Amino acid sequence: MAMITGPLSGDAKDTVAQALQGALVDLIDLSLVAKQAHWNLIGPHFRPIHLQLDELTELARSHMDTIAERAVAVGINPDGRSTTVAKSTKLQQPESGWIEDGKVVATITDLLDGVSKRMHERVRATDEPDPVTQDLLIAVAQDIDKQHWMFQAQA
Ligand SMILES: [Fe+2]
């Protein structure tokens, strides 16, 4: 059986694996929550928020692929299964049914605040073990922080 080994080993590899898997779950669930809100949104500010939520979904999807493929490149198996995401996500799930625009903005702002903090922790954790992974996480954090600002500005 083919094995992808990559440049890392030992503790460094474990740290990087944890950071990448955590980031992957955050990004997958962020894309799901953003779509859920995109569909169930109601209220006078429907249009801009509806569109902004799709921007967030696209951004999460694009970064999740970069993150998962970095994992593979360093010999770590990304786990994007729905059962794994459901078990390990730190994102609070939205309620079912309609969600009013103000509530959506507050909820997404909160979620992005949490994702941002965790991404920054991962940036710090990967500094020594793998600056290449760190660089990718910095790019993710940059986009998450920007989205956080743009949702927060509407609250
Ligand atoms: Fe849509």
User: What does the pLDDT profile of the chain (155 residues) look like in tens digits?
Assistant: 777 788 888 999 999 999 999 999 999 999 999 999 999 999 999 999 999 999 999 999 999 999 999 999 999 999 999 999 999 999 999 999 999 999 999 999 999 999 999 999 999 999 999 999 999 999 999 999 999 999 999 98
* Ligand 1 center–CA 38 separation, angstroms: 7
Distance 51 CA to ligand 1 centre (A): 8
What's this model's pTM, rounded to 2 decimal places?
Answer: 0.96
Q: Collect all residues with Cβ–Cβ distance below 8 Å to 41 and sequence separation of at least 6.
A: 49, 50, 53, 98, 99, 101, 104
Ligand 1 centroid to 37 CA: how many Å?
10
Rg of the chain taking only CA atoms, in angstroms: 16
Angstrom distance (rounded) from CA 123 to CA 136? 9
Alpha carbon of 120 to ligand 1 centroid (Å): 30
Distance 124 CA to ligand 1 centre (A): 35
* Euclidean distance between CA atoms 106 and 37, whole angstroms: 12
Integer Cα distance of 102 and 109 in angstroms: 11
77: which 2 tokens? 């198996």
CA 111 to ligand 1 center in whole angstroms: 20
pLDDT value, residue 13: 95
Question: Residues 148, 112: contact at Cβ < 8 Å?
Answer: yes
Amino acid (one-letter) located at 15:
T
CA–centroid distance, 39 to ligand 1, in Å, is 7
Q: Half-sphere exposure of 88 toward its Cβ, with a 13 Å CA cutoff?
A: 16
